Amino acid sequence: QCQLSGLWRNDQDSLMEILTVGNDGDFQGKYLTCVTLAGGCARVSPLKGTQQQPGEGGWPTFAFTVRWDMFSNATTTFAGQCFVDADGKEMLSTMWLLREAVGSLEEDWKATR
């Protein structure tokens, strides 16, 4: 069974720490992205999420939101599922959606990636 709490590193060298997952599936943590327009890593940003409690032997699905603190006027939401591979290594498979603030409704088309 996969446990979300702990320290995770993605293939872009960003780091995420998920603190204890509550009985209701809610969790908090920190995210340090190393994918920035300026290059290098940004400041640590807070995250909040929830995990669907898995059934017997199931792989949990989850979602979390990162509020990019002090370096971007954007928010990113991730949704995914936790797996254990053949070697026993826990892996998170996620998709993300980033929303940047824009100055007008006419610019809305370019605000989401």
Query: Is there a domain that residue 48 lies in?
Result: yes
Query: Is there a domain that residue 24 lies in?
Result: yes
Domain that holds residue 14: 6-110
Residue pLDDT, tens place only, 39-55: 667 778 999 999 987 66
Torsion sign over Cα 35, 90, 22, 49 = positive
CATH at 27: 2.40.128.30
Query: Is there a domain that residue 106 lies in?
Result: yes
Question: The pTM is what?
Answer: 0.84
**Taking a C-beta distance cutoff of 8 angstroms, is the pair 29, 47 a contact?**
yes
Average pLDDT, rounded, for the chain: 87
Q: How many CB atoms lie within 10 A of CB 74?
A: 15
Query: Is there a domain that residue 1 lies in?
Result: no
d(CA 30, CA 5) in angstroms, rounded, equals 11
Query: Is there a domain that residue 102 lies in?
Result: yes
Q: What is the mean pLDDT of residues 17-43?
A: 84
Give the count of domains, the chain: 1
Residues whose CB is less than 8 angstroms from the CB of residue 54 and which lie 6 or more positions away in sequence, other chains included: 1, 2, 60
Phi/psi at 2 (nearest 5 deg)? -90, 135
Give the pLDDT score at 3.
Answer: 84
